[in-house]
Amino acid sequence: QPELGKPMRNCYSLPGPGFTYGIHMHKRDGGVPEAIGHWDSVKAKPRKRIMPRDFVAMGRAAVDEGCTTARQFALYYKYTDIRCKDKGILRYGGKVPPGMTFGRPPRPSTPFFDLMQHRYKELWMEEQRARTVVQHVVKKKIGEVRGNRTTFLRTHPRPVKEESFWHPQRFEKVWAPHNPSPDQRQLFWAP
């Protein structure tokens, strides 16, 4: 039963003052006075990350060495260990290579002297002149009349065929008179 004039309690009681919410860290749990007094800096130990083997590079190196059979390749892979390069070297506590900069490289500065002398205009005008010359040459080539078979035969006549006087026997016409005489009939028509 709820107490008279008070809301009903439907929650749990909170833990005591010695209870820590979240993860209790022994090394850094000194509160505000420790944070203000001195910085507790922990040096991160870089873990050496073992990269997988680079079989493409090992295969190329094996071919350069003269390996041709599967056994030779297996022996080469056994005694040679080439690993993939770590592309995320800065993520895992590695040192920055010398001369490396982050971000986009700056745009090269515009030479102000060239702007004053209208150099860019002159370069653009030269490009336009060269383009018009090329277009004129292409247009001239297009304007030429294309030759067809008739014009080709007019300029290059066919060679004249030599007359052949020899004909096969079966294609020769046999002379037969319309009204043969009795002597001729005996030659052509046997009884």
Q: Are 82 and 64 in contact (CB under 8 A)?
A: no
Supply the pLDDT for residue 69: 92
Q: How many residues does the chain have?
A: 191
pLDDT tens, residue by residue, 139-191: 777 666 677 888 888 888 888 877 777 767 766 666 555 565 666 555 555 54
pLDDT tens, residue by residue, 94-113: 666 677 777 787 888 888 88
Return d(Cα 137, Cα 143) in angstroms, integer.
10
CA neighbor of 111 nearest in space, from 103, 120, 102: 120
DSSP alpha helix (H) spans, the chain: 31-37, 55-65, 70-79, 112-116, 119-143, 149-155, 182-188
At residue 112, what is the residue type?
A: F
Average confidence score pLDDT of the chain: 77
Return d(Cα 148, Cα 190) in angstroms, integer.
61
- Mean pLDDT in residue range 44-62: 84
Beta bridge partners of 83: 53
pTM of the model: 0.27
